[in-house]
Amino acid sequence: MPWRLLGNSVDGDLEVQLVPPRVITIGRSAECGVHLTQRQVSRLHAEIHWAPGVGKDGGHWRIRDCGSTSGTYLNGVKLTQHREVRLYHADSLEIRPWRFQVEGPSTDRTIAEGSQTIVNEPETSEEFVALAEVQSPADFAQGLLVRLLAVSEEIAMAEDEVSVGQAAVEALSSATGFVNVAFLRQSSETGLIEVVAETGAISGARGELQVSRSLLKRARHGIYVHQSGASPGATLAASLESLSIRQAICVPVEAGTMFFGWIYLDNRAGGSDEARDLEAAGFAAAVARLTGLSLSNIARGKMQQRFDLEQQQMFGGTMRALIAAIDAKDPYTRGHSDRVSEFAALLARAANLSHEHVEQARVCGLVHDIGKIGVPEEILRKPTHLEPHEFARIREHPATGHMILRDIPQMREVLPGVLEHHERWDGKGYPNNLKGDQISQLGRVLCIADCFDAMTSARFYRPARSIQEVLLEIERCLGSHFDPELGRVFLTIPHADLASRISAAVAPPTG
């Protein structure tokens, strides 16, 4: 399915095809690919561009607000100017007064069997009747106020759309006496009406949706109450008669400019009490308001998760770029940081450290040698043992790495490991000659992981050593080079787990 934007405003409808690798500019300027003429729209308001895929990711579209005056809104959340974010199928994009629905490959296309559409229904002007004047919560009887408080707590605690809808439906069913109650939404992809939560005869024996589509259409922008004996328009009357509906209430579920669906109630037997119906409509309106606010908060939470994921990916990409820069300076040790990361995480898990500490060990392994970016290539690539002054430059890399990373909030927890991974248990390491427990736990973990990978990897001046040789060397150096307790834990890691991660033998370059 191709990507596209389906837009609408009071001025009409608009369809925009998204065809990679095209860049789509949106704004009031005639030079923009999507030309919107309203004055609320900035001359260059937003830009949508294609991001090619990496690995298993087949690529995706991203949107960026270009410093607009009135803002660009994604799922009700205003984007920070010049900040870009990924677009997903079914996203709601607002460049006011326009609202666009994003359509593309969907990971969830499940639609209830028998769902109905409310689009393209014939109508006449006389079929539109006045919307109901309902009671406000301040006028509710004490019993309804208590019920409203209870349902507000349930809705506030719900974590997804279905849970919110179920809480609303159950509260309305018990409080109003209406037999058939549902929370309905309209599919962004097909326009069909879907049942989120229901009770009573909302769905038929074959799964067909038994609600008045005409009633939903009239309640799109306000509360609608139908009572037996009323004289609705012909299309609505036929719709109600076909379902034997005597009483019905339909309330839009909204928050700000976001429309989430409808609260729908009906009875198909018995008489009608105008005062009671209006009271029920008022209660339904209050519940719909709570539902809309809760769904808006859930949507905002999802958007924040998306922003956080974008930040993590950007941060991860930056770190990978720095690591790649080190590999480019010293291709002979390429992959060292990745392997140290894995060995450090293995050791942290074997030592029964918390998940948080295991993750810190993994990340610290990736960045522990960042400081080597400040070491001259001729030293890093030297095929023989280093002279004292050259080794002095190598010894600077822990402090350099600490300096590079210290102002990055996400790196604060791993800084000790970066600075101290060359410290020794006996105090003869560098850069600060720390001894024993003066060295952070992370620094002691990284020291073992780093040395194990160095000894099991080939160098210009020596071949790789076997796992058994290296483990014997670690055992010999417990209490001198390595933390004796952590070192003994490392020795218990199965050889197969270590062997699957060690470096393949690399022949020194010639010429």
HEC string of 374-403 equals: HCCHHHHCCCCCCCHHHHHHHCCHHHHHHH
Which of 10-24, 30-44, 272-286, 488-502 has the weakest average pLDDT? 272-286
Task: For residue 405, tell me if it sits in a domain.
Answer: yes
CA–CA separation, 489 and 439 (whole Å): 18
**pLDDT at site 188:** 63
Q: How confident is the model at residue 456 (pLDDT cuts 50, 70, 90)?
A: very high
Instruction: State which of 229-233, 239-243, 397-401 shows the largest mean pLDDT.
Output: 397-401
> Taking 90 as the threshold, does the pLDDT of residue 231 lie above it?
no
| One domain, residues 353 and 480 | yes
Q: How confident is the model at residue 229 (pLDDT cuts 50, 70, 90)?
A: low
Which SS3 state, helix, strand or coil, does residue 117 take? strand
Which of 3-17, 80-94, 271-285, 491-505 has the weakest average pLDDT? 271-285
Q: How confident is the model at residue 233 (pLDDT cuts 50, 70, 90)?
A: low
The 10s digit of each residue's pLDDT in 406-443 is 988 888 999 999 999 999 999 999 999 999 999 999 99
> Taking 60 as the threshold, does the pLDDT of residue 397 lie above it?
yes
Task: For residue 301, tell me if it sits in a domain.
Answer: no
- Tell me the pairing of strands 24-27 and 34-35: parallel
Host H or E run for residue 110: none
Final residue before a domain boundary, out of 237, 265, 296: 296
Burial class (CB in 10 A: 0-12, 13-18, 19+), 2: exposed
| One domain, residues 87 and 155 | no
| One domain, residues 458 and 382 | yes
Share of the chain above pLDDT 70, in %: 85
| One domain, residues 69 and 123 | no
| One domain, residues 47 and 84 | yes
| One domain, residues 168 and 132 | yes
The 10s digit of each residue's pLDDT in 34-92 is 999 999 999 999 999 998 876 566 788 999 999 999 999 998 889 999 888 999 888 89
Final residue before a domain boundary, out of 242, 267, 296: 296
Q: What is the pTM for the complete model shown?
A: 0.58
The 10s digit of each residue's pLDDT in 84-124 is 899 988 889 999 999 999 988 754 444 334 444 443 444 43
| Order of all β-strands in the sheet with 77-78 | 12-18, 3-9, 98-103, 92-95, 73-74, 77-78
**pLDDT at site 141:** 60
Average pLDDT for 339-357: 96
**pLDDT at site 275:** 67
Kindly report the CATH number assigned to the domain that includes residue 410: 1.10.3210.10
| One domain, residues 276 and 323 | no
**What angle is formed at CA 220 by the lines to CA 214 and CA 221, rounded to 5 degrees?**
135
Share of the chain above pLDDT 90, in %: 43
Q: Which residue has the higher pLDDT, 505 or 167?
A: 167
Final residue before a domain boundary, out of 237, 262, 296: 296
Task: For residue 309, tell me if it sits in a domain.
Answer: no
| One domain, residues 133 and 23 | no
Q: How confident is the model at residue 371 (pLDDT cuts 50, 70, 90)?
A: very high
Amino acid at position 140, single letter: F
Q: How far is the CA of 482 from the CAs of 294, 365, 477, in angstroms?
A: 54, 17, 6
The partner residues of 27 in beta bridges, in order of sequence, read 35
- The Cβ of residue 208 has, within 10 Å, a number of other Cβ atoms equal to 12
Which of 32-41, 256-265, 303-312, 416-425 has the weakest average pLDDT? 303-312
| One domain, residues 99 and 121 | no
**pLDDT at site 98:** 94
| One domain, residues 26 and 81 | yes
**pLDDT at site 235:** 66
Q: Give the number of domains in the chain.
A: 3
Task: For residue 110, tell me if it sits in a domain.
Answer: no
What is the token pair recorded at 262? 């409808």
Kindly report the CATH number assigned to the domain that includes residue 272: 3.30.450.40
To the nearest whole number, what is the mean pLDDT of the chain?
84
Among 147, 219, 207, which Cα is nearest to 176's? 147
> Taking 60 as the threshold, does the pLDDT of residue 134 lie above it?
no
Among 248, 217, 212, which Cα is nearest to 230's? 248
| One domain, residues 19 and 76 | yes
Alpha helices in 206-260 (DSSP H): 213-218, 234-242
Task: For residue 304, tell me if it sits in a domain.
Answer: no
Which of 94-98, 101-105, 225-229, 280-284 has the weakest average pLDDT? 225-229
> Taking 90 as the threshold, does the pLDDT of residue 310 lie above it?
no
Task: For residue 506, tell me if it sits in a domain.
Answer: no
Task: For residue 306, tell me if it sits in a domain.
Answer: no
Task: For residue 412, tell me if it sits in a domain.
Answer: yes
Give me the domain span that covers residue 62: 3-103
By residue count, the chain amounts to: 511
| One domain, residues 93 and 137 | no
User: Is residue 418 a contact partner of residue 370, using CB atoms and an 8 Å limit?
Assistant: yes
Q: Which residue has the higher pLDDT, 2 or 506?
A: 2
